[in-house]
Chain A
Amino acid sequence: MEIVKNVKRTCYVPYHWCYGYYNTLFFERLKEEKVIYGSRCTSCGKVVVPTTAVCARCFAPTEKDPVPVSDEGYIDSFTIVYLPYPGQPSTPPYAYGMIKLDGTSNLFMHMIGGVPLEEIKVGMRVKAVWNEERRGDFYDIKYFQPVKD
């Protein structure tokens, strides 16, 4: 006879998270325009991605109108994930990184793909690869792919 030592259950909690004004701006424009938007701080003047209500450092509001930024930049940091776990975006190994988009002053995090993983390096130029079927969410950009300088 097997001793019963635990019970297996899953917590299923559906959410409908509101994007709010600035996330709506960001994701709607990814979907409709294939353009990445950031926000300019009314105090320090820096442009950060994605669009946001507040400059994280200054605690100052950003300008109401979002700022279109480049969908190209360079890799500031990356990791190749080997660990399998539930809810992963794809099957390991895969890579994501922190990307300095041209004309912005912070780093944007996204997947890095379309390249053999061992070739990914810090400083490499990358460009967004867009999904043709866009739904107004994070994966309207498939990943950032290395491009020639």
Chain B
Amino acid sequence: MKEVGIIAWAHSEFSPRNEGMSRNELLYQVTKKVLEEAGMEIGQIDMVISASCDTVDGTSISNAYVVDEMGAYMKEESKVEEDGAYALAYAYYRLLTGQYNNCLVVSHGKISDSAPAFYTNMSCDPFLLRPLGLTGESAAALQARVYAHRFGATEEDFAAVAVKNRRLGSINPHTQLKSPVTLEEVLASPVVASPLRELTTAPVTDGAAAVIMATGEYARERGKDLVRVEGIGFSQDLYYPGNKDLSTSASAKAAAAMAYREAQVKDPLRELDFAEITEQHAFYELLLYEALGWCGPGEGRRLLAEGVTDREGEFPVNPSGGALCANPVMSAGLVRVVECCRQLTGTAEGYQLPKPVRRALAHACSGLFLQSNLAIILGI
């Protein structure tokens, strides 16, 4: 099969409210930055695939208004209304056709222009879930309770994830929350929706991210190193939360299985060196250790407690600090890819993993109750 990968990456600064820039300016900045990283001019880009959300932007067809800033003028451009990592998957399959040499993938979200709760509530059906006032937080809270009840996990177990990721984030110069937190601080932070607390929930983040993907031939011709996409898998679960087992994520399992199959990974914990996952809530990380096949059901907290997934562990998870340190809406998953690329190319300055790394998994998700999941295997 054709070789396809990533030759350049960039993301904006992350902040809870980027008052100084419009979404268009944010996008122009990140697009210029990624082109500069690649040493390319916009005219050399074959196509653009963008990711944004109409509700977040308050604009139908949210890509139309930002086409100029993403350099899509007179190019083939299409949008996914999902995290930017899904746009990357779309670009990957297009590049595999052999019709194109490269693709600019770009995502943006200025969630502070509106409110996260409004955006997640609007994603609910109007008859059964929206009248509850269900939001990302309260949906995750219900799932956290199911997970805790099923496996005897406690608030302390969830808090321990936040402590690890905030500690790792504290040495990542690119992230938003750069201060470590203690277990006591996490457990004393205000309850958002029980059993979730402010510090076990991702922050509000404005941001944008971009990568340039290319075929192996194109990268070699230009003397660019390629972070190869070795496998991609994605899957959707059922919509209505009452119809599925919330103690796990069947779609995360299926997505991982599909990606492992393509990348010929049989034992992920041994064959992969680390992972970056979208843990917008601390308990997601434990649940995803299990769903992504790194331990058995309910064993996530053991993996964490044994230090396996810490910076010095045999399988570090979220060495960047993850989404608990910066959660740019529509870009959180693509930023996981960027963080994998930094580690794989030895350019994670200040937070480079101590062990050599050659192969990683990046995870993105979309929808309430971890409805949709995406897994990408990257290698050098």
Interface residues in chain A, defined as those with a beta carbon under 8 Å from any beta carbon in chain B: 5-6, 9, 11, 15, 17, 19, 23, 27, 48-50, 56-57, 76-83, 85-90, 96-98, 106-111, 122, 137-139
Q: Is the CB of B149 within 8 A of A77?
A: yes
Q: Give the CA-CA distance A80 to B149 in the complex, in Å.
A: 16
- The answer on a CB contact under 8 Å between A83 and B238 is no
Given A15-B126, A48-B243, A109-B242, CB of A89 within 8 Å of CB of B19: no
- Indicate if the CB atoms of B191 and A78 lie closer than 8 Å: no
Q: How many residues of B contact A (CB 8 A)?
A: 39
B54 CB → nearest A CB, Å: 10
CB atoms of B138 and A79 under 8 A apart: yes
CB distance from B67 to the nearest CB of A (A): 21
Top 5 A-B pairs, shortest CB-CB distance: A107-B242, A85-B117, A79-B141, A138-B131, A88-B133
Chain B residue with Cβ nearest A20: B127
Most A Cβ at <10 Å: residue of B127, B142, B146, B242: B242
Question: Per-residue 0/1 for B232-243: is the Cβ within 8 Å of any A Cβ (1 yes, 0 no)?
Answer: 000000111111
Separation of A9 and B145 alpha carbons in the complex (Å) = 37
Task: Say whether B118 contacts A85, CB under 8 Å.
Answer: yes
Whether the pair B191, A56 counts as a contact (CB closer than 8 A) is: no
Highest count of chain B CB atoms <10 Å: which of A57, A81, A86, A122: A81
Q: What are 9 pairs between A and B in contact, CB < 8 Å? A: A17-B126, A79-B193, A81-B138, A81-B141, A82-B192, A85-B117, A86-B117, A87-B121, A96-B134
A83-B132 in contact (CB<8A) = no
* Contact of A56 with B238 in the complex, beta carbons under 8 Å: yes
| A85 touching B115, Cβ below 8 Å | yes
- What chain A residues lie within 8 Å of B131 (beta carbons)? 89, 137-139
Q: Collect the chain B residues with CB atoms within 8 Å of residue A78's CB.
A: 142, 145
The answer on a CB contact under 8 Å between A82 and B193 is: yes
* A5 vs B131: C-alpha distance when bound (angstroms): 34
A96 contact from B138, B238, B240, B243, Cβ within 8 A: B138
Task: Please tell me if the beta carbons of B133 and A89 are within 8 angstroms of each other in the complex.
Answer: yes
State the CA gap A139–B145 with chains docked (Å).
24
Contacting pair B115 A107 (CB below 8 A): no
In Å, the complex CA distance between A49 and B243 comes to 9
Provide the bound-state CA to CA distance between A87 and B148, in Å: 29
Find out whether the CB atom of B193 lies under 8 angstroms from the CB atom of A77.
no
Complex CA gap A114/B362 in Å reads: 45
Contact with A along B122-151 (1 / 0, CB 8 A): 000011110111110110011101100100
B296 within 8 A of A: no
Residues in chain B near residue A98, CB distance under 8 A = 142, 146, 241-242
B12-67 residues at the A interface, CB under 8 angstroms: 19-20, 58
B239 to chain A, nearest CB (A): 7
Q: Is the CB of A83 within 8 A of B146?
A: no
Closest to B113 in A: A6
